[in-house]
Amino acid sequence: MAEVAERSEESERQRLASLAGWYFNEQLDFDKQLIGFGYETLKPHFQGPEALELGSGDGQMTRLIVNDFERLTVVDGAAELLNSIPDAPNLVKIQALFEEFEPARQFNTIFMAIIRSVEREPPSLVAVIDNYIKAA
């Protein structure tokens, strides 16, 4: 059973790596503007010093939110996408599938938007993420 899970995780990593081209070659300016509008809408609701962004893609949202938090952790399964995001002193980049990610801390604000696909069913993913939220 563990061997099947390893193959599944490896195929998911390969699939995510293949999606990187969409961000670099096919993403529309409209998509980028929509992310900007989302940022402006969400900004008044940001909480605390620590944030988590699941599925950072090529960092369109990351570039907007990085200066709004003392520490921003971003998680994406594709190394090429993470490498395209500019480094910042308060930015932690983690290459991992959502199913593998086990944070050592909790976060005040969590971003999980425009995820092209996830292996886990959304309700179970939301239940796991609930454990990542720091109580207000």
Ordered by where they begin, the domains of the chain are 2-130 (3.40.50.150)
pLDDT band of 28, cuts 50, 70, 90? low
pLDDT band of 22, cuts 50, 70, 90? low
Contact (Cβ atoms closer than 8 angstroms) between residue 32 and residue 60:
yes
Residue 98, pLDDT above cutoff 50: yes
Phi and psi at 33, nearest 5°, equal -65, -40
User: Could you tell me where the DSSP H helices lie in the chain?
Assistant: 2-21, 29-42, 60-65, 79-83, 122-130
Residue 1, pLDDT above cutoff 50: no
Kindly state the average pLDDT of the residues 27-34: 70
Comparing 2-6, 17-21, 44-48, 55-59, the range with the smallest average pLDDT is 2-6
Whole-angstrom distance, CA of residue 17 vs CA of residue 90: 25
Q: What proportion of the chain, given as a percentage, has pLDDT over 90?
A: 39
What is the pTM assigned to this prediction?
0.76
Pairwise pLDDT comparison (80 vs 28), residue with the higher score: 80
pLDDT at 4: 44
